Structure 1
Amino acid sequence: MERRQEAREGAKVLVRDLLEPSSGLGLGLVAGAAGLDHVVTLSRVQRPGLALTGYTEYIRYGRVQILGASELGYLRKLSAARRAAVLRRLASCRISCFVVTKGLDAPAELLAEADARGIPILVTPAESTPFIKALSALLEERLALRLHLHAVLIDVFGLGVLIVGESGIGKSECALDLIDRGHRLVADDVVEIRRIGDVLIGASPDLTRYHMELRGLGVINIKDLYGVSSIRTSQRVELVVSLERWEAGREYDRLGLQDEKFLILEQEMSLIRMPVAPGRNLAILVEVAARNQLLKERGYDAARQFVERVDEMIEAKTTSGRRPLSRRRRATAERRRVR
């Protein structure tokens, strides 16, 4: 299994970033401006209902604290002295920020504590549930682990194919041939990969988007040359093809039974090693590899079915006086053929 873990970036979002119009959250600041450089490191928000009763053990720095109608309604029912004590205890915890939903007014005691301790209090006119969904989606995207790989990412029949290999081996030329055959470029030379949940999403850095560098030609713009149908801004990574120089005497997989993996951000991707030699049409091979991977995802594995048919023919020709191969012996024979 190959590993590609270099250049991972630590992910964080500043509270002031949530106030930017580009976030689409529609938030406003009502108190605690001194804490706008607090960081949010977790996409899951927290509703401090239990903390308002005095149990603050599970308040975590790095999570956005949501105050909705239920939390504020509970606070209004407390006496002024009790409310001040509860909010003083809550504000003494390390808190990234509070968000008050439905455009409600935060208690004066909370505003005072927030200004004194530098805890931002933000307000949104949205209701709690839709706001939490929008905020969580934004944070998942921005907090996703990221990795920059020297590779090419192509959309082949809707399958994200990541082409890796040493510099100068022909990754960009292979990708250009695939584009000429009607497939779509996502990124060339540098691929930015984000992990969102268990999914890897690849995209191009802003500077090199739509561009490709070819030795002898220089930098070309794929969008201008082939049109908008030849490019994509992002694509899920589902298959890795490693271009490797042909080595005489080295054994290569000829049946397709080897199930190799390529590890990216702790996620395993199917890996195909593609020997590069004069006369081999790499674009067609990558295209067929993508078709074959799509069939495997649908439950059809041609190589394994072929081996099963061969085994069935061998068993059928076995004389009645000889014992047919047991399942264990068949598995051993299959492993020997693969080697």
Structure 2
Amino acid sequence: FSTLSPERQRDIIHEICHLELSCLVFTRNLDIPELLLEEADGKGIPLFRTHLHTTDFIERITQFLEEKLAATCSIHGVLMDVFGVGVLLLGKSGIGKSECALDLILRGHRLVADDMVYIQKRAPSALIGSGFEIIQHHMEIRGLGIINIRSLFGVEAIRERKKIDLVLELVEWDTSREYDRLGFEREKYTILGVEIPMLRIPVTPARNLTTIIEVAARNHLLKVMGYDSAKEFEKNLLKKMEERGEEKPEIKGEVE
């Protein structure tokens, strides 16, 4: 640019400043030409300068804009990091979501958000959950009130944000309803247009929900790695029956 004639420099700057620009950014602490300062000031175009190299700046500003302009929503529930799996616990008020989360924390898992989960859509199919600033790291336990998880258990018991990988809905046990007992059902929960695998967990006093949630997280990890316990069970069962020459049974929810 500096090798061009003053007239050509002015023409280029004039053309640039007549575009619909939000701002201009100069990287590597480059000097801003005086002509550009005058033209940008006249057009009301903000000018910025950074010490970052161009590629580093583009990467950072892209990430910043994706976060600030992402589609968002909030949902009533509890978000936990269980074995590295982002588990979103849903269910009606009073069913025991916070109590389950507290038990998971005692077992070494990490709280992301309790009561209200703030969700941002990143990329085509990634949902990032976090807590609202005013209630972040806090939990409401009936009978105890509001407790600060960070103060009670330390920073290792919390996470600022986590990708949502699995939705578990806690529901009251209904004797008139038939629940999935083999794991062939493949339900999805849709948030901001993104489908997340979902399981419905019936709640009764005799069931250890914390252990069930841990097993659900481990089983999800297995599926991500390509191993499906239900499909493997079905395959082995059909193989044994073929060896014995028995007729194949019709298994409800059978999938290819």
TM (norm. structure 2) is 0.90
Runs of 4+ in structure 1 over 4 Å off: 335-338
2:184 corresponds to which of 257, 262, 284: 257
Partner of 1:118: 44
Aligned positions of 1:136-215 closer than 5 A: 136-197=62-123, 198-215=125-142
The residue matched to 1:224 in structure 2 has which SS? helix
The gaps in structure 1 that reach 5 residues or longer are 1-72
| Structure-2 change in CA distance of 1:149 and 1:307 (3 Å) | same
1:312 corresponds to which of 231, 235, 239: 239
Please say if 1:84 is aligned against 2:1: no
- After superposition, the C-alpha distances for 1:126-166 in whole angstroms (9 at most, x for unaligned) are 32222222322333333333221111011111211110112
Partner of 2:251: 334
Count of residue pairs the alignment pairs up: 254
Give, in angstroms, the shift of residue 336 of structure 1.
6.1
The residue matched to 1:207 in structure 2 has which SS? coil
| Distance in 1 (alpha carbons) for counterparts of 2:88 and 2:46 | 42
Aligned positions of 1:1-339 closer than 5 A: 73=1, 76-197=2-123, 198-318=125-245, 333-335=250-252
| Structure-2 change in CA distance of 1:110 and 1:140 (3 Å) | same
Contact 2:184 2:254 in 1 (8 A): no
| Distance in 1 (alpha carbons) for counterparts of 2:245 and 2:209 | 41
Give, in angstroms, the shift of residue 234 of structure 1.
1.9
| Distance in 1 (alpha carbons) for counterparts of 2:253 and 2:221 | 28
- One-letter amino acid of the structure 1 residue matched with residue 227 of structure 2: Y
Q: Considering only aligned residues, what root-mean-square deviation do their CA atoms show, in Å?
A: 2.1
Give, in angstroms, the shift of residue 337 of structure 1.
6.5
| Distance in 2 (alpha carbons) for counterparts of 1:129 and 1:179 | 40
Partner of 1:7: none
| Distance in 1 (alpha carbons) for counterparts of 2:221 and 2:30 | 51
| Distance in 1 (alpha carbons) for counterparts of 2:108 and 2:171 | 25
The residue matched to 2:134 in structure 1 has which SS? helix
The gaps in structure 2 that reach 5 residues or longer are none
| Distance in 2 (alpha carbons) for counterparts of 1:286 and 1:246 | 16
| Distance in 2 (alpha carbons) for counterparts of 1:102 and 1:283 | 52
Give, in angstroms, the shift of residue 335 of structure 1.
4.4
Q: Percent identity?
A: 47
TM (norm. structure 1) is 0.69
| Distance in 2 (alpha carbons) for counterparts of 1:298 and 1:126 | 39
- One-letter amino acid of the structure 1 residue matched with residue 223 of structure 2: K
